[in-house]
Structure 1
């Protein structure tokens, strides 16, 4: 007899009924179709793949953006007796091999990985040997350029779905506007009927915004928290050092608080998180590194000490409160003091036009020499072109969409191994043709004192074999403890369009796309500011932003509805730029940059915006670095331009 979804829900998860939207998604997946679930944070998106994974014939592969998300899910699944595992960078080689063996044997039903794991040639070769029933993409808005957290590697997921012959996909997100939902669905060919939106509005969350000068925040926050010391809550800040400062300030005022940020060591972070989850720590002051994957039902308040990065981030972060359905408070302490810093981060990501030109020329020149193929190590190209790594990945996606390049494959440029037995012992473990093949691997490798480095060119001459066969062999040796294997320097290989293209026009188009993205991100910040300073119902505005039609009237319980429309305090006046001496702050950086100097680079230096060339030249200690970090980048740029033209 076929067991029903309702029976599985009861027997494995102990729930008597599905939450809103869950059954529709689960039924769609169990009927052999793909689906998308756009549910608010904390409303049970994960169950939509966890339950079907119990009955699907093969592996459920989950793409999850953060290690914390994976660990939380794995602990939950283990508590329900469901076999799940992850492959991540924190594991030892032995732990990873144990997981892969479990997947291969069919003992593991759910495997969780980061999207970057799919760049690993060895891992992709492993997946190609494993039947996969369902691809789950968590935080699926990352696949859309119009999403708030676009990640270029996500754009490759439809290609991997085809490559690994995965029939079904499930997309999960809490924060997707209508435009993003359409984009997600189109990329994975998910029909409109299989996209389930449950609405964004949660009536148990009381949204409040309080306009405050920066100097008044600590006292106000301590007073606001005074009657909440027995409740669990999170205070979000932007910078790591602010977590420590605010936690100290609250503790000095008699309110126990623990700081949490990505700069702490892993054990310390895990200890704080564990104590927060079990109630030993009530209040966490954290950067947004805290909270992803946290499924604590009784968080009674979330405070934004600093402005969040976007409305989407705000929605995601307040969504961690009140998951038990009980009333919870969400407070923002708002001012415009750090607005310029927030905007300047956006300007730091836009490559200069000549940097884009450098990349395009590199592609064309190498393609001429290599039969229209281009090989690239991204970290090296980022340094050479002076384009930030994420922006470089985005540029390559844009060039792919424009038809210049097409991803072919990626590989590790170097495979090194050392023997754990003698050469003869290794060779004699095999017989016939395999013995000859293994002997050829050893003889063609470059040998140092201990380490061997695979030489694929020499191997191709000595014993012509598929590259994949060589890699499979040495991975097998590694798995069996016969060698210790290391691989490094990921190389991406692209096929380059052999038809002539107008490269000047292409360069202009690429730069325009980045400028458009820049304008879009600045607009996102403007939306955020307008939202917090608005005289309209906050809950209704949020619902409208996320295409939730259910809230047609003011909520009646946000700060605006309660008569407290935010008045933003005046921003502290900055000293006029014309009162600064240009040469005093730019002479050192000009000398360091030499011929590479430009108006944009000097402006970024003065605003404290890092680029690969700044990292290489170690400019942080130079006079002038970050002297104008509180000024608007565009104003600084105009000032630099004016001074250069008059000198």
Structure 2
């Protein structure tokens, strides 16, 4: 293994990302994996986790295989790498068999440096057959807390990563996460079969520049407006809401009050979501009101305020979402608005999220009917899925359908993905000669083929390329319908492989479909999962109700037991204010001495001259004056000068 000097690593960092130096722990983590050691990296949200596997992958030959559970995050990272001139690919639900086949071929024979894979795709026959032929230099597991049943976002397909390691002998593994308790950390090391010489790097979960607050209120919208105005309505902020309706109503209210706000959730059209996100990134929209899916992988360092209208189900999620504020290390605020019944409502929602087994089986059967999937079939075949339509079609309460699907996901039987904008994609599977012959014989399609080649060049022959149907239609002076018909014709003729654009949520069976009555649900495990979820809910409630430093409470949850008070949360600031108000002043000292010297009085009589708010500083000052001998007690108990 060659020694990688600091200058070499910094050169990669500067040349590719434009950063002058590494953040704390990044270089240590990179050197550990370059030395061939299995490595667990725990860095808080915004701590630069992706740099930790991207730099070592670029510093030596071979391909970095990245396992990630979030399609949107994978797509963002692949796009960002490509913008920097780095070859990157991704394989995830919603891609066709041909597209996956071509992508994996490119990773075996082409100059691809990064392959992002969703965990359920890891050990398909197609992937197994190719991964051994790839020159894999590093296996990176993003969101590694998904490995642990003690975590907050357990994904059963992650447990199969240990089987993947058997296909990649000698390849070091890096696991990365922003949130993990001690129990989860141990679970990650065990489940990934880390070697005896593995390293664990953990940056403190403390965020010195972030002020956490919990504000009790019966009118959350009014209180939200006060907070936004208090920080500055020209500052960048995120407001997290629990439902899509709540995002839209809250954004509308803020707009009416003169705040440049916009809603963001998966139910909006892809173009609107993209435009809203771009407007917020470029500060045309200052406040984005979103469901919790927003913010993953978005690097906007100047967010000054994150507000939660309701508490998330666990402190891991709260820490991650609140941590999107102040990534530039300047002062920022994380505010949780707490209503009078929020604690009871949070417990009720957690209980509801574990429906009876017969309801789960009924939803599983309905999903099979909805997708027309026969027993024994359907594994990893994605289909468009609209929850509301599904619930109405099979007369299931939408909440029961949602919670049952979540249960089926936790147990590893299905997967439901939020809407992700997948543009149309085209690949030319034939060689140049055959394509030219087709163009000569089919003049009506010649212009379209030439336009595709002009816009995308030879890349079309090596893999699928994203195309803009609207741009192509305008260029060719065709309607969108006419263009689509031509693309479909070329696809059916075998001249191109065409994947139409889609932006619908999707679902898939992660195992061959069972007979619903024989679905092997583990009731004991489900009860354990419910108890764990309730335990995490109680931790959120204790955090919100706590009278101690908010950051200390969060850090203790993650195993940092000796952290000092932060000094900037609402509890610490209130304590400072009380201490400052209670501090005796020179004026009060002179007033007390003059009062007692004029007329000897008992302490109770002295206190009668002051307000109740002054009682503590007056009592402390009387004690101090007696200790210093400036006042003394007479035999009758009165103070005299």
TM-score (norm. length: structure 1): 0.64
Q: Deviations over 1:425-471 (max 9, x none)?
A: 9xxxxxxxxxxxxxxxxxxxxxxxxxxxxxxxxxxxxxxxxxxxxxx
1:534 matches 2:546? yes
Taking the aligned partners of 2:233 and 2:498, their CA distance within structure 1 comes to 52
Count of residues in Structure 1 that have an aligned counterpart in Structure 2: 465
> Cα offset for 1:61?
1.1
Q: Deviations over 1:403-434 (max 9, x none)?
A: xxxxxxxxxxxxxxxxx99xxx9xxxxxxxxx
Q: Deviations over 1:260-311 (max 9, x none)?
A: 0011122221121122112222110000111011111111110111112211
> Cα offset for 1:62?
1.0
User: Of the candidates 528, 531, 540, which is equivalent to residue 519 of structure 1?
Assistant: 531
Larger Rg: 2
> Cα offset for 1:159?
1.3
> Cα offset for 1:377?
5.4
Taking the aligned partners of 1:98 and 1:378, their CA distance within structure 2 comes to 20
User: Of the candidates 217, 220, 227, which is equivalent to residue 217 of structure 1?
Assistant: 220
* Alpha carbons of structure 1 residues 205 and 375: separation in structure 2 relative to 1, 3 Å: same
> Cα offset for 1:485?
11
* Alpha carbons of structure 1 residues 515 and 98: separation in structure 2 relative to 1, 3 Å: closer
Q: Deviations over 1:580-606 (max 9, x none)?
A: xxxxxxxxxxxxxxxxxxxxxxxxxxx
User: Of the candidates 263, 266, 270, which is equivalent to residue 266 of structure 1?
Assistant: 270
> Which stretches in structure 2 are left out of the alignment for 5+ residues?
363-374, 382-393, 395-400, 414-428, 435-490, 500-506, 514-519, 577-641
Taking the aligned partners of 2:4 and 2:54, their CA distance within structure 1 comes to 15
1:198 matches 2:203? yes
* Alpha carbons of structure 1 residues 339 and 19: separation in structure 2 relative to 1, 3 Å: same
* Alpha carbons of structure 1 residues 212 and 343: separation in structure 2 relative to 1, 3 Å: same
User: Of the candidates 298, 302, 305, which is equivalent to residue 298 of structure 1?
Assistant: 302
> Which stretches in structure 1 are left out of the alignment for 5+ residues?
359-373, 398-419, 426-477, 495-506, 566-647
Taking the aligned partners of 1:293 and 1:490, their CA distance within structure 2 comes to 27
1:545 matches 2:557? yes
Name whichever of 267-276 and 7-16 sits farther off.
7-16
2:179 matched to which residue of 1?
Answer: 175
Taking the aligned partners of 2:224 and 2:410, their CA distance within structure 1 comes to 40
Residues 97-496 of structure 1 correspond to what in structure 2 (within 5 A)?
99-118=103-122, 120-165=124-169, 167-190=171-194, 191=196, 194-213=199-218, 216-227=219-230, 228-350=232-354, 352=356, 388-392=404-408, 394-395=410-411, 481=494, 492=511
User: Of the candidates 51, 64, 83, which is equivalent to residue 87 of structure 2?
Assistant: 83
> Cα offset for 1:46?
0.7
> Cα offset for 1:390?
4.7
Taking the aligned partners of 2:246 and 2:508, their CA distance within structure 1 comes to 36
Residues 572-611 of structure 1 correspond to what in structure 2 (within 5 A)?
none
RMSD: 4.2
Q: Deviations over 1:75-94 (max 9, x none)?
A: 43234433223234566888
Contact 1:199 1:547 (8 Å CA) reproduced = no
Contact 2:380 2:508 (8 Å CA) reproduced = no
> Cα offset for 1:338?
4.5
Residues 11-26 of structure 1 correspond to what in structure 2 (within 5 A)?
11-26=15-30
Contact 2:12 2:59 (8 Å CA) reproduced = no
* Alpha carbons of structure 1 residues 320 and 394: separation in structure 2 relative to 1, 3 Å: closer
TM-score (norm. length: structure 2): 0.64
Name whichever of 27-36 and 187-196 sits farther off.
187-196
1:73 matches 2:77? yes
> Cα offset for 1:33?
1.8
Spell out structure 1 runs of 4+ moving beyond 6 A: 90-95, 353-358, 482-486, 488-491
Taking the aligned partners of 1:340 and 1:44, their CA distance within structure 2 comes to 37
